[in-house]
Structure 1
Amino acid sequence: MTTTWGVAETAGRIAAGELTAVQAVEACLDAIDSRNPELNAFSVVLADRARAEAATRDDAAAPLGPLHGVPIAIKEENDVEGCVTTFGGKANTTPAAADSEVVRRLRAAGAVIVGKTSMPEFGAWPYTEPRSLGPARNPWDPAHTPGGSSGGTAVAVASGMVPTGIGGDGGGSIRIPASYCGLFGLKPQRGRVSTAPNPHLWWALGVIGPLTRSVLDSALVYDVIRGSHDGDRFHAAETGSFVEAASREPGRLRIGWTVKPTSKGVRPHPLHVQAVEDTARLLTELGHDVRQVDAGLPDPAAAFVPQFFAGIRTEADAVEHYERLEPSIRQAYRLGFWVRPRVIEWALRQTERVSAKANRVFDEYDVLLTPVTANRPPKVGVLEGANALTAALRSTPAIAYTALWNVTGNPAAAVPCGLGPDGLPLSVQLVGRLDDEPTLLSLSAQLEAARPWPLVSGARGTTGDA
């Protein structure tokens, strides 16, 4: 096996008898041994357990499901039975008694869990630099951050350590590291994927999903993990198969584009403006009706900020050793003293108002095209010495285009569009109507076919003009 194989190819080769699950896992463990010491993606490597789990897959009388034998990494905020759920820190010490619902569904589909991946504590920042583990590093240039908060997952996938990994997105935390690391990262519709055993992740903000090297790989994983649970606070409307959506032409779409961020005082990097403009031209060539728009998108801060503080306070209240939390997290906890239950309910009402205003753009357009982030991937150490307030300020350029869609709940995807002259990936964001992941998958797959992107860091392919 080569670690450039993604989910579909790995599963297909195992199903065809060309590869065993044990061989797939061993290849990933070899890649982790080779690349993780430099890149620091994994917080825990479950080598022996993964080998044993893979052996049971090979011994099975029939494939368990579409991910039979596929090695997968799990972000630290998700429970894996027998592992401490650290949330990127040292404040918990007791192993989880059971898998989270997402991990349970992955195993039921035949996947093999090879380890857990690094994140900033509680996923509070869009850069993966936890004090407990040290910074994760971008595989395209280890001097730079991979982003966050699903930074460890992004590094593991982009470097070829695993075919895919599970991340989470509460303000851009799938899309930001996907864009910095050259991956496809779809933030699903709120309520699409169960957050059990938690009823929600940071109230209306947080969702769970994979980071992958291809659109089809993402669709395959989503068709396994999607679906809500009775205990979930949010439930998405039913859609058809994501794999089918990723495999069909999107038809002629009305696509609006803008490079105006929702955060005041933020300017997009010229390379990101160029990437959007180049993608708009390509979409026009592909037959879509593409127009620059003044979308009038609202600033989501009034809804986002209370839920951010409430999320940190809720998770901090639940850890076993509060005193072991990082200083910036303890400070954020104190700063959020005002976020009482009434404030949270007020913030959720603001969420509805922000969503109604933002979704007016879809009265005229099927998809909105924007940058993913305003900034290029910063150098490692962007959070060094930062307290909660300075960390928030340094995070603003990264979330200036993404956080709005966590507030509204709309699906949104980071789609690679090659490499910049600095050797780091470029990406654009596609935002869809509520509950319309299928259109984003179809359109993203069309872009992927027209402008293929490098699959693994160091594997230079056709990168497009951006």
Structure 2
Amino acid sequence: MTDDRLRAFVEVTADAATAAARRVDAGLAAGHPAPRLAGVPIAVKGRTGMRSVQTRRLCAAGAVPIGVTSTPRGPGPQTWGYTDRGPTRNPWRADLSPGGSSAGSAAAVAAGVVPLATGSDGAGSTRIPAAWCGIFGYKPTTGLLPTADPAGLTVAGPLARDPRDLAAWAEVVLGPLPTATAPVTATWSADLGHATEHLDDEVVTIAGTAAESLVDAAGLRWSGRPVLLADPSRAWTTLRDAQATAADRTAAAGLRADNDRLLTAVFAATDVLLTPTTPGRPHGHDGPGAHMSVALTWVFNLSGHPAISVPAGRTADGAPVGLQIVARHRADRQLLELARTLAAARIAPGPAR
């Protein structure tokens, strides 16, 4: 496998992949039932990802990791991937970032190198690269999987071109999901009440059109419930800051609790909340500047709600846009089914490899 143009991988694990594939073949030859993901090639986010719970469970189900994908080098939150050959490129437009921090995983999936890749999402790190690479990215309900994040904000999740592969990931990694009643109502919010200054009008229009398509395809009706959350940036950054004072933590906990109460009221009045995944389009390899790509995603890491980014379309200059679907706690099955519904209604070609 060559990765010169894309730079999605920091390591290709050819020998380990061959050995894993042979183990699957040996089991089948011995008459054992085929595991759920027998022989499916996957990419794994970051060097520590090979030891993660999700990767171990995927491998136990027969998946074959072919390599380790790029992540940001740091310091601080970033939305691009680092390799010693240069930054990871967006498969749709090489001059753009694929998003992050699951940068290489998203690029590898979008380019067709693998159908499925592991990611993790602490502020949108699965959903943002999914949106910017025109694929699906899923953040499960917080608590369905153990996390090594001391703040409890980061959740393991997959990236895929086909939402059916997200469902297969959930079956293998999460186990049986709670049964969810069919959604009836949906609420749209372009800015969640606080992100107006970051909005790109074309991105909002494309995501809103996809939201209309989903509502029509799923037979939902619109709810007029307003969504007026407080900016979660202070709460999120404080929880991740080991040097934060007790007063800062108390204030952050209060802001988080206020937004949790507001979201409880929203989901008492509607079944799913729809937003653009990001308020703006992908930035270049020089970084986002002051633009907050996480403005519409990280509140759901604080609240723990399940969320998924689905492809919504592309801007006039070819940049992918995502639609974010958020559901009640533990209504993950509902999200995955809605992603399949929208995919069936809006089928678009993928980027050239």
CA distance in 1 between counterparts of 2:101 and 2:23 reads: 33
After superposition, the C-alpha distances for 1:307-359 in whole angstroms (9 at most, x for unaligned) are: 2334xxxxxxxxxxxxxxxxxxxxxxxxxxx3268865774565344322223
Q: Could you tell me which residue of structure 2 aligns to residue 141 of structure 1?
A: 93
Q: Could you tell me which residue of structure 2 aligns to residue 184 of structure 1?
A: 136
| Partner AA of 1:158 in structure 2 | A
1:357 to 240, 262, 269: 262
1:374 to 268, 275, 279: 279
CA distance in 2 between counterparts of 1:113 and 1:66 reads: 15
Distance 1:46 1:54, change over 3 A: same
Please state if 1:339 is matched with 2:259: no
Q: Could you tell me which residue of structure 2 aligns to residue 57 of structure 1?
A: 24
The Cα shift of 1:256 comes to 0.6
1:78 to 16, 24, 48: 48
Q: Could you tell me which residue of structure 2 aligns to residue 315 of structure 1?
A: none
| Partner AA of 1:446 in structure 2 | T
The Cα shift of 1:155 comes to 0.4
Distance 1:106 1:373, change over 3 A: same
CA distance in 2 between counterparts of 1:143 and 1:444 reads: 28
What TM-score, normalized to structure 2? 0.90
Q: Could you tell me which residue of structure 1 aligns to residue 307 of structure 2?
A: 412
| Partner AA of 1:268 in structure 2 | L
CA contact (8 A) 1:147 1:177 kept: yes
**Which SS does the other structure have where 1:147 is aligned?**
coil
Q: Could you tell me which residue of structure 2 aligns to residue 83 of structure 1?
A: none
**Which SS does the other structure have where 1:38 is aligned?**
coil
Q: Could you tell me which residue of structure 1 aligns to residue 171 of structure 2?
A: 223
CA distance in 1 between counterparts of 2:141 and 2:158 reads: 13
Q: Could you tell me which residue of structure 2 aligns to residue 212 of structure 1?
A: 160
Q: Could you tell me which residue of structure 1 aligns to residue 351 of structure 2?
A: 457
CA RMSD of aligned residues (A): 2.5
Larger Rg: 1
CA contact (8 A) 1:73 1:113 kept: yes
The Cα shift of 1:190 comes to 0.5
Please state if 1:152 is matched with 2:115: no
Q: Could you tell me which residue of structure 2 aligns to residue 165 of structure 1?
A: 117
What TM-score, normalized to structure 1? 0.69
1:308 to 240, 253, 265: 240
CA contact (8 A) 2:140 2:332 kept: yes
Q: Percent identity?
A: 36
Q: Could you tell me which residue of structure 1 aligns to residue 294 of structure 2?
A: 399
CA contact (8 A) 1:262 1:300 kept: no
CA distance in 2 between counterparts of 1:104 and 1:252 reads: 33
| Partner AA of 1:48 in structure 2 | D
After superposition, the C-alpha distances for 1:399-453 in whole angstroms (9 at most, x for unaligned) are: 1111111110101110112332212222211111111111111212111111113
Q: Which structure is higher in strand share?
A: 2
Please state if 1:44 is matched with 2:11: yes
Unaligned runs of 5+ in 2: none
Unaligned runs of 5+ in 1: 1-31, 81-98, 228-237, 311-337, 384-389, 460-466
CA distance in 2 between counterparts of 1:224 and 1:262 reads: 37
CA contact (8 A) 1:262 1:400 kept: no
Structure 1 stretch 119-128 or stretch 49-58: which is displaced more? 119-128
Instruction: Tell me the number of residue pairs that the alignment of Structure 1 and Structure 2 aligns.
Output: 349
